[in-house]
Amino acid sequence: MLRIVQALDGGICRIKLNGGSISADQAVAVADAAQRYAGGVIEATNRANLQIRGIGSEQAGLIDSLLAAGLGPRTAAGDDVRNLMLSPSAGIDRQMLFDTRPLAEQILDSLQSHPRFHELSAKFAVQLDGGEGLAMLEHHHDLWLSAGEQDGECLLGFGLAGCPTDAPIGAVRLDDGHALVVAVLELFLDLARPDQARMRHLLAEQPLAGFVTKVAERVPLVSIAYWQRVASPEALHIGAHPQRETARVYIGAVPTLGRLDPAMLRGAAKLAREHGDGSLRFTPWQSLLLPGIQESAAAEVTHSLENLGLRCSADDALAHLIACTGSAGCGKGLSDTKSDALQLAALRQRHGQILDLHLSGCPRSCAAAHIAPVTLLAVSPGHYDLYFRDATLPGFGALHARNLTIEAVAALLDACSRSPLDA
């Protein structure tokens, strides 16, 4: 947040949210800052954070306003390393095995207050998964922790340079979760060279078994039988879903292609105050949740969110599309991905096709930290290579067709959906 990054459309301020959560008052502060100091574009990111685009010369004023709202780091040096992702439904999910939020507070405090951790790369990231039904399980993290049960006890399995759908390489008791994170991060810094910024770089040379043995010298590990985390097939970040608390729901709403304007954010904050628990939660699907809604008010709140321009139906094609900034705001983008995505969504909605799609203006894949079922990679203005996800292949998956227009993409996907072959 303290370091404004320049893009074609102005400066970008990335606001890292604790566990993806923000109070209604803080949301209004973000809306006000975006309107006063920037172009009014607010983006929900794939790390459950927010960013303001189009910042002009008054960078100091914008940063000061966000700091005054309590949105900054506890220490300036700890700003870049606040990379801890939780489930958007942490603490309220009916399927959770434990409430991850107290442990997350411990981890975030250590990341910001432990001077040595400030040496970590700004991209070095940790994920904490409490077994929630709503959880992003496909983003790779340098260290991930995922709850599981064994012999009636809740344990934290963990892995390195992967995600919770991988088999854990070890486990600790819940009380040792914080110590495990500290031990792994300190050991990484002990062993990694300056050019090895991420865990995968270190493990390319350091045997995994040796690393785990060194971790076990610092934290007691628990022997575990095999378990594997399975993602929910439902789009639990869209629409109303029951919480752990009786007669309460959270409502998931998707801003079109991850972008909100100040009026949208202020409107959502108002609904959170009037009908929810006074907070909003952002998700790795570039959407937001309003938690703590009375079940009896769900239809009214959903209608109000839709009136703000947010999408609350899993049957809406635009709720399943993600696109990077594209050539309109990024010098590396080869096409205007946002505009192309709107065109594609209209074509797919007309055909009744609902499928998770990702449009990327270049191979960096900034909009998606996971591989979508279908990826369109821009090769020139309005033209894309089409990939289908394939777990056996690196990158976006299997290249299916080259240099397609948006109309050709829609027609091809329609043909694939009608064929017996599973695209």
DSSP code at position 390: -
Q: Is 97 helix (H, G, I), strand (E, B) or coil?
A: coil
pLDDT, position 419: 65
Q: Going residue by residue through the chain (423 aa), what tens digit of pLDDT does each one get?
A: 898 999 999 999 999 999 999 999 999 999 999 999 999 999 999 999 999 999 999 999 999 999 999 999 988 888 999 999 999 999 999 999 999 999 999 999 999 999 999 999 999 999 999 999 999 999 999 999 999 999 999 999 999 999 999 999 999 999 999 999 999 999 999 999 999 999 999 999 999 999 999 999 999 999 998 888 988 888 999 999 999 999 999 999 999 999 999 999 999 999 999 999 999 999 999 999 999 999 999 999 999 999 999 999 999 999 999 999 999 999 999 999 999 999 999 998 877 767 899 999 999 999 998 899 999 999 999 999 999 999 899 999 999 999 999 999 999 998 887 765 444
Measured in whole angstroms, the distance separating CA 362 from the mean position of its chain's CA atoms is 20
Q: How far is CA 56 from CA 35, 68, 344, in A?
A: 11, 20, 32
C-alpha 91: how far from chain center: 18
Instruction: Residue 42: name the closest of 58, 53, 32 by CA.
Output: 53
Instruction: Give the pairing type, strands 10-15 and 5-7.
Output: antiparallel
Q: How far is the C-alpha of 137 from the C-alpha of 338, rounded, in Å? A: 26
Q: In angstroms, what CA-CA distances link 91 with 104, 156, 244?
A: 11, 16, 8
- Quick one: pLDDT at residue 74? 86
- Asked if residue 292 lies in contact with residue 248, where contact means CB atoms within 8 angstroms, the answer is yes
Which pair of tokens denotes residue 294?
A: 């009375």
In eight-state DSSP terms, residue 99 is: -
pTM score, two decimals? 0.94
Sign of CA dihedral 311, 315, 316, 317: positive
Amino acid at 366: C
Q: Tell me what pLDDT residue 421 has.
A: 44
Residue 385, beta-bridge partner list: 377
CA 315 to chain centre: 21
Question: Which amino acid, one-letter code, is at 25?
Answer: D
Gap between the Cα atoms of 417 and 423, Å rounded: 7
Strands 50-55 and 10-15: antiparallel
Rounded Cα gap, residues 347 and 405, in angstroms = 12
Strands 357-360 and 374-380: parallel
Element (H, E) at 388: strand 383-388
Amino acid at 150: Q
For residue 323, the model assigns a pLDDT of 97
Position 376 scores a pLDDT of 98
Pseudo-torsion of CA 159, 161, 164, 166, nearest 10°?
A: -80
Q: How far apart are the C-alpha atoms of 158 and 165, rounded to whole Å?
A: 11
Report d(CA 360, CA 78) in Å as an integer.
31
Q: In whole angstroms, what is the distance from residue 20 CA to residue 17 CA?
A: 5
* Cα–Cα distance measured from residue 129 to residue 134, given in angstroms and rounded to the nearest whole number: 10
pLDDT at 348: 87
* Rounded CA separation 376/321 (Å): 11
For the chain, domains (ranges, CATH) are 5-78+234-314 (3.90.480.20), 97-130+138-216 (3.30.413.10), 319-418 (3.30.413.10)
